[in-house]
Amino acid sequence: MGRLFGTDGVRGLANVELTPELALSVASAAAQVLAEKDRSHRPVAVVGRDPRASGEMLEAAVAAGLASAGADVLCAGVLPTPAVAHLVADLGADLGVMISASHNPMPDNGVKLFAEGGHKLPDAVEDAVEARLDAPRTRPTGAEVGRVRELKDAGERYLRHLLVAGLHGSPVASLAGLRVVVDCANGAASTLAPEAYRRAGAEVIAINAEPDGLNINEGCGSTHLDVVAGAVRTHGADLGIAHDGDADRCLAVDASGAPVDGDQIMAVLALALRESGELRADTLVATVMSNLGLHLAMNQAGITVRTTAVGDRYVLAELRAGGYTLGGEQSGHVVLPGHATTGDGLLTALRLMARMASTGRGLAELAGVVEVLPQVLHNVRVADKAAVADAPEVREAVAKAEAELGDHGRVLLRPSGTEQLVRVMVEAPTSEEADRVATALAAVVASTP
């Protein structure tokens, strides 16, 4: 059996791979492990979920698992993932559980865990939780059994935090004058995102903000930017914001409907933070998948880009290790550690709009600082991803491609974290050149025994 925890918690087809029994066991084990370091008080857990139908079932199982381990449970209801992380810190809770499969289709679901302070669990702690799943234990009884209560002001607590953090350091106190379309993906931010942007002063047109438990991420949200782009053009909006199912992502489109990805958003925020003196060590943290255009733009601006492996947990680890103030991924996970412990799509959107309001510049102009190089990605199925990626003929082919592209392009080969695939990514000045180099390199990978 492989490791239970993936790059973002435990995830799978709800009621088949991620069963109520497994959710109960994971929650119980997490409460035991995280409570062990401080036995002076009864542990408290915050539980939230996105609106997919299976979340109701899994929320009940998670609450039962936590209470059976002696933890008091505060059920926050339907909330974005970053809201749960914030509430764990804000309430001084011992752990948090978010039930969501993020941008995955509705039948999937997941369990994400947060330690005190709202931080994602390190690998070692996840391993300890997994090891505890089947371990014998003495269950609490009587008054020691945990209690389950509703956290009625969860959304309002998070909104108050957003309105302070979202305009922090900005010369403007309001987003008045901005018209924004927000695609909520029929997900966890369907109520809170439009409300946050309205309270900040923007004129808001909300789409895909009517979750019914079955329509989350269905042809909408951050994985379908054409939807928000069309609405922006229809309504003559200044920009569009697209979230995913649990709203830890933010992607955007400009007034013409052209996409603005996470790399461009990070560039806009990095320049704003440096201008306000908040960009620690003039450094941005990104992953190896970030476009070369981001590196070139930041280099020209005198900003260092530190790169990590793919996955927001690695970005977060680097941010914490260096005390940096901004990091994220091309996919739209952007982290501002001074105000959030994980990617927060709503906070990112507020910061992006605040930059537009304070400069009086459109999003196309602001994002134009990054000239996005065409990027081609091939997923090549192989028998042994580690052996193939390290084969001499593959290394030789990579070196040849890098020499051909020089300083004007980039090659990245990396084994998939979950499948027997080698991902071949090439960036080049033109789509044709990127496709030609990537196709040739993928063929070498595919033919390597």
Burial class (CB in 10 A: 0-12, 13-18, 19+), 163: middle
Digit-coded pLDDT (tens) for 85-104: 999 999 999 999 999 999 99
3-class DSSP state of 202: coil
- Asked if residue 12 lies in contact with residue 173, where contact means CB atoms within 8 angstroms, the answer is no
Pairwise CA distance, residues 378 & 424, whole Å: 5
Q: Is 102 a catalytic residue?
A: yes
Specify the CATH number for the domain of residue 421: 3.30.310.50
Instruction: Quote the percentage of the chain above a pLDDT of 70.
Output: 98
Provide the pLDDT confidence category of residue 1 given band limits of 50, 70 and 90: very low
Pairwise CA distance, residues 405 & 138, whole Å: 62
Following DSSP, what letter does each residue of 45-87 receive, concatenated?
EEEEE-S-THHHHHHHHHHHHHHHTT-EEEEEEE--HHHHHHH
**Is residue 167 assigned to a domain?**
yes
3-class DSSP state of 307: strand
Q: What is the average pLDDT across 129-149?
A: 93
Give 355's DSSP letter. H
- 308-321 in b/e burial notation, b at 16+ Cβ within 10 A? bebbbbbbbbbbee
- Asked if residue 20 lies in contact with residue 61, where contact means CB atoms within 8 angstroms, the answer is yes
Q: What is the average pLDDT across 184-210?
A: 98
Written as one letter, the residue type at 186 is N
Pairwise CA distance, residues 165 & 71, whole Å: 30
Predicted pLDDT of residue 7: 73
168 & 316 share domain: yes
Predicted pLDDT of residue 134: 83
233 & 276 share domain: yes
381 & 359 share domain: no
End-to-end CA distance of the chain: 26
331 & 276 share domain: yes
Predicted pLDDT of residue 107: 96
432 & 316 share domain: no
Pairwise CA distance, residues 36 & 26, whole Å: 16
254 labeled binding residue: no
Predicted pLDDT of residue 291: 94
266 & 405 share domain: no
**Is residue 148 assigned to a domain?**
yes
333 & 192 share domain: yes
**Is residue 330 assigned to a domain?**
yes
If phi > 0 it is left, if psi is from -120 to 50 it is alpha, else beta; for residue 420 that is beta
Q: What is the average pLDDT across 39-44?
A: 84
Number of domains in the chain: 3
- Asked if residue 220 lies in contact with residue 207, where contact means CB atoms within 8 angstroms, the answer is yes
53 & 29 share domain: yes
Q: What is the average pLDDT across 4-31?
A: 93
Q: Which of 102, 190, 222, 331 is catalytic?
A: 102
238 & 328 share domain: yes
Mean pLDDT score of the chain, rounded to an integer? 94
Instruction: Quote the percentage of the chain above a pLDDT of 90.
Output: 85
Segment holding 427, helix H or strand E: strand 421-427
124 & 73 share domain: yes
E strand residue ranges, 108-265? 108-115, 148-150, 179-183, 203-207, 239-242, 251-253, 259-260
**Is residue 178 assigned to a domain?**
yes
Which strands make up the sheet holding 375-381, listed edge to edge? Answer: 375-381, 421-427, 410-415
Residue 173, pLDDT > 80, answer no
Pairwise CA distance, residues 436 & 159, whole Å: 48
Q: Which domain holds residue 438?
A: 375-447
Cβ within 8 Å of residue 41, ≥6 positions away = none
Residue 39, pLDDT > 90, answer no
Residue 157, pLDDT > 70, answer yes
Q: Which of 32-36, 186-190, 412-416 has the lowest mean pLDDT?
A: 32-36
Which residue would you say has higher pLDDT here, 1 or 35?
Answer: 35
Last residue of a domain, one of 113, 133, 152: 152
38 labeled binding residue: no
Predicted pLDDT of residue 6: 81
What is the dihedral sign for C-alpha 316, 52, 244, 157? negative
Residue 2, pLDDT > 70, answer no
Q: What is the average pLDDT across 428-436?
A: 94
Specify the CATH number for the domain of residue 233: 3.40.120.10
**pTM (2 decimals)?**
0.92
Burial class (CB in 10 A: 0-12, 13-18, 19+), 40: exposed
Pairwise CA distance, residues 372 & 375, whole Å: 8
Last residue of a domain, one of 101, 131, 152: 152
Provide the pLDDT confidence category of residue 418 given band limits of 50, 70 and 90: low
In this structure, the number of other CB atoms found within 10 A of the CB of residue 57 comes to 16
Digit-coded pLDDT (tens) for 110-127: 999 999 999 988 888 899
166 & 131 share domain: no
353 & 440 share domain: no
Q: By C-alpha distance, which of 77, 120, 78, 70 is closest to 95?
A: 120
Digit-coded pLDDT (tens) for 268-327: 999 999 999 999 999 999 999 999 999 999 999 999 999 999 888 899 999 999 999 999
Residue 381, pLDDT > 60, answer yes
**Is residue 5 assigned to a domain?**
no
